Structure 1
Amino acid sequence: MREVFQQELREVQERLVEIAELVATSIDKATRAFNESDVTLAEEVIAEDHRIDQGTVALDELAITILAKQQPVARDLRIVVSALRISASLERMGDMSTHIAQLARYRFPDKVVPKKLRGTFADMGALDVEIAQKLAQLLRTEDVKLAEEIRNEDDKVDDLHLSVFDTVLGEKWKGEAADTVDATLASRYHERFADHAVSIAKKVQYLVTGDWDPDLNAGL
């Protein structure tokens, strides 16, 4: 029974990695669709979101089954409970990718944001992609150095997010009301995507080290 239980725990980790990789692919496509006004990529992101949702549901069912049948304790219990919480955050990251893609599809063939902000969103999107890739690697390897790197990248996303608000609220902003709404929403989606990654990184760090770093939860 113990060997079966350990195999089930390994399967939990493997499924988390699989979902995280789907999320990384999703945000990569979504940000390219957003920045390049690529409606085909946007449609792919929207159509494939169900794979992330199905993956999280299947993982949750596995975790609940383990709790019911194996009644884990101590670190094993923390692993299973954390998996449920991480799964929820990954699902929300997939939703953020879908929202970004939906903006691209809605505004096609036009760009979502005015030219003045396109460089900012390109940088923000690149950071989100990098964060998602590092998150998948963190879940695969449990290398806690990656948790710190994710937090540092999140700080950069936060700075860009604030710069978007400074721009749309500034006196020199000439965008239409729709431009303001789109830029605000898109910036928020990018920022929340990174925040969820930081939340997951914190949980992984705690599982590996036993230390709960409150700084990793800053801004959540």
Structure 2
Amino acid sequence: MREVFQQELREVQERLVEIANLVAESIEKATTAFNQSNVSLAEEVIEDDYRIDALAVALDEHAITILARQSPVARDLRIVVSALRISASLERMGDMSTHIAQLARYRFPDKVVPKSLRPTFAEMGRLDVEIARKLAELVTTENIELAEEIRNDDDKIDALHLSVFDKVLGETWKGEAVDTVDATLASRYHERFADHAVSIAKKVQYLATGDWVPEDV
């Protein structure tokens, strides 16, 4: 029975890794679609989001079954409870990717944001992709040094997010109302994607060390 239980726990981690990798793929495609006005890639992201949702639901059901049947304690309990919370955040990250892709689809063939903001969003997208890749590695390896790197990258995205607001609220902003709304929404989606990654990183750190880092996102 113990061997079966350990196999179930390994399956929990394997499913988390699978979802994390899908999220990394999703944000990479979404940011490319956003920055290049690639409608076919945007539609691919939107259509594939159901896979992330379905896997997250299946993982939650599996974790709840383990709790009910095995009554885990100590680290085993941390694994299962953390998995439930991490899967929810990964699902939300997939939603953020989808929202970014939807903006690209809605504005096609035009680009979503004015030329003056495109370098900012290109950098935000690059950082989100980098965060997603690091997160997938973190979930796989529990290398907590990656958690600190993710937090540092999140700080950079926060600064870019604030710069977008400074731009659209500034006296020199010439964008139309729709440009202001699109830029604000897109910036928020990028920022929230990174925030969820930080939240997951804290949970993995807790899983690896037993020390809880307070949530602030």
TM-score scaled by structure 1? 0.98
Number of residues paired by the alignment? 217
Per-residue deviation, residues 20-58 of structure 1 (Å, max 9, x unmatched): 000000000000000000000000000000000011011
Counterparts of 1:138-217 in structure 2 under 5 Å?
138-214=138-214, 217=215
Aligned to 2:22: 22
Identity %: 82
Counterpart in 1 of 2:52?
Answer: 52
Q: 1:82 deviation in Å?
A: 0.7
Deviation by residue 1:114-169 (Cα, 9 ceiling, x = unmatched): 00000000000000000000000000000000000000000000000000000000
Which blocks of at least 5 consecutive residues in structure 1 are unaligned? none
Match of 2:108 in 1: 108
C-alpha separation in 1, matches of 2:172 and 2:75: 55
Hey, what's the Cα distance between the residues in 2 that align with 1:213 and 1:40?
40
| Counterparts of 1:212 and 1:7, CA distance in 2 | 26
TM-score by length of 2: 0.99
Query: 2:61 aligns to what?
Result: 61
Provide the C-alpha distance between the structure 1 equivalents of 2:213 and 2:23, rounded to a whole number of angstroms.
Answer: 25
Hey, what does 2:77 align to over in structure 1? Answer: 77
Alpha-carbon separation, structure 2, partners of 1:208 and 1:198: 15
Tell me how large the CA RMSD over aligned residues is.
0.6
Stretches of 4+ aligned residues off by more than 4 angstroms: none
Is residue 32 of structure 1 aligned with residue 32 of structure 2? yes
Cα deviation, residue 113, structure 1: 0.2
Distance (Å, rounded) in 2 between the aligned partners of 1:29 and 1:152 = 23
Unaligned runs of 5+ in 2: none
Give yes or no for the alignment of 1:41 onto 2:75: no
The CA deviation at 1:90 is 0.2
